[in-house]
Every structure is written in structure tokens, then in C-alpha cells.
Amino acid sequence: ARIQADNIRNGSGPLKRKTLEQQVHQAERSLDLSQSELADLDILLEKGHVSLRERDKAADKVSTAKEQLAVARAELDNFKAYVWPQMQREAQLLVDGAESNLDRVKRTAELLIQNREAEVEKSRRNEENKLAALGLAKTEIVNCDVHSPTDGILLYPELPRENGRRKIQIGDSVWVGQTFLEVPDTSALIAEIHIREVDVAKVAAGMSAEIEVDAFPGKVFTGVVESVASLAKEDENNENLRRFYARIRLSGDTGNIHVGMSVTTRIVYRQVEDAVAVPLSAVFYQESQSMVRRSHQDGSQDVPVTVGDRGQLWAEITEGIAAGDRVYAEGQ
């Protein structure tokens, strides 16, 4: 007991006081430095060398330093007024009442043992909770394995983001019901095409189509128009143009075609048979009248004609010339 009392009077007590005094000195130095820095920034702010934000930041540091100094001084005053006298009284009590102190120590030890036993029980329960959480985490990890119901090519869809649409990336959040991976059914390929506004009225579901894939030049695939959008969208390259989306289902052997390939499509909206037709370059206009230049034995003659349907290369002539007539086309 005497050793403990001597340690309080000459060891831990003075050391605690010295520590608190040192904290006060450190807080005073920190405040002086912060005030000096604030004064320098005030001068620089007047000259426009620093921003008001930097000056306010320095002012915040001064306020913080003042608060820290006030706390340090309060702790030192509290130590001098209450803690240190209490420590001295406790030291005297240790000397005067060793036996009483021993009993108190025993009671304190018993209380500590009870606290430790309670902490052990708490730790045991925490361990059980952690093991349960570990089991749940392992189950969730197993549930993170996503299995596709079919073989195919894995595609990353585009998702709306603040700066526009982009493909999903590692780190993106995924919500319930959100599609973030796709395995398209390549057994029934669909070609999505754009149709000009002037042509959309000619196209309808069920029409035949010829598809040329850029990856297979010269090879023509067949298909059928599946649907035509009712609502037009602006062209990505020209906002003055409006185009309609259409879907064409490819038929026949499409095993070598991969999802995402570019195609050129021709839709057959009408087939004309047993009709008089001329090359498109043979038709010209005079005062809004369709004309062709017909050949005869004395030379040539410009003949007005009525043009029916047009294809990529030929134009149907319903009136003006007959089958077997010879006409001049561009370049002849």
C-alpha cells in the first residue's frame, strides 16, 4: 500500500499533471501557428493569391485549435482542482487503511471476474452470430453462380446511366429484375433494319426480304418481315431524318452468321410479271412529264410514258410504249 501511495504522490500523479501541461503547451503552439497562417492568408487574400475557400479553411483550423486549447486547459484545471486532490486522498487512504483497501481490491477483483465472464459469454454469442453470417454468406456466394439454360454467345446489354447509355461494367450495381447479361437464341436470327419515312408505307409484315451479310459478300440469305415499328425515331447521323425500325426473321441455313454482324437488306414489296419495263436510266423528265427515247428506223423519238412501280434497276411502264420497243438508256 505504501508503494502504491508513493507512486501516486511522486510518480503517476506528477506524470499525469506534466502530460496535461504538455498538452496545453502543444495546443497553444498549434493555435499560434494557425493564427499566424490565417494572418498570412488574409494578406494573400487581399492580393488575390489565394481563394476565399483556402482562407476559410485556415479560419476553421484556428477555431479548432482554440477548442482544443480550451479542452486541454479544462482537463488540466480539472486535474488540479479535483483529480489530484482525490489521488492524494486515495494515497493517504491506502496508507491508513491497507486492510480496508485489501478488502476493496478483493471485491473489485470479484466484480472484474464477473465482468470478464459476461464478456466471455457475449463473445461466445458473437461467435455463433458470426458463424451464422458466414454460412449465409457462403450460401449467397453459391447463389451468385448464374447458369444459362442454353449454350450461346454472352452479350452485355446497354444500361441507362447519368452520362448516357453504356454497357454494364464491373462494379455496377444490379437491381432485382434487371437484365445485365443476355444469351440470345441464335437458332432464329432477327435482323433489325432502318426504313426511310418515305418507304415505310410500302413495307408490311409477311413481305419477303433478301439479306446480304457484309462478312459473306456475294451470298444472299432469305427472310420475312416480322414487324414494322409504328413510331419513328430520329436518325443518329441526321436529326432531320426520321426512320422506322423493322425486324426481319432470317430463314434457311444461318449457322455461320453471328449476332451483331452488319447486313444490307432488300425488301420485295411487290413483284411485277409480264409487264413492260425499262432501265431506270432510260426514264427522264420534261416539264414534269416522264419520257423515254424510243428508237425507230429514222433515228429516235421522245415518247411520254406513265411509270408504274420502280425497283433498284428497272421501272414499270404502264402506258406509252409496248413490249419489243427499243429505248435509249444512259450511256447508250
User: Domains of the chain: which residue ranges?
Assistant: 2-96, 147-184, 190-268, 277-328
Burial zone of 308 (CB within 10 Å; 0-12 exposed, 13-18 middle, 19+ buried): middle
pLDDT tens digits, residue range 7-65? 666 777 777 778 888 888 888 888 888 888 888 887 887 887 778 888 788 788 888 88
Per the CB < 8 A criterion, the answer to whether 316 and 307 are in contact is yes
Q: What share of the chain is helix, strand, coil (3-state, %, to 5)?
A: 45, 25, 30
Count of CA atoms in the C-beta half-sphere (13 A) of 284: 11
What is the structure's pLDDT at 113? 94
Instruction: Please name the amino acid found at residue 22.
Output: Q
pTM above 0.75, yes or no: no
Q: What is the mean pLDDT of residues 159-181?
A: 80
**Cα dihedral value 307, 311, 312, 314, nearest 10:** -50
At 205 the three-state DSSP class reads coil
Q: Top-level CATH class of 277-328?
A: mainly beta
Nearest Cα neighbor of 272 from 229, 239, 315 is: 315
- How many DSSP H helices and E strands does the chain contain? 5, 15
Per the CB < 8 A criterion, the answer to whether 28 and 69 are in contact is yes
Per the CB < 8 A criterion, the answer to whether 259 and 184 are in contact is yes
pLDDT tens digits, residue range 98-111? 767 678 788 899 99
The CATH superfamily assigned to 190-268 is: Efflux pump adaptor protein, beta barrel domain (2.40.30.170)
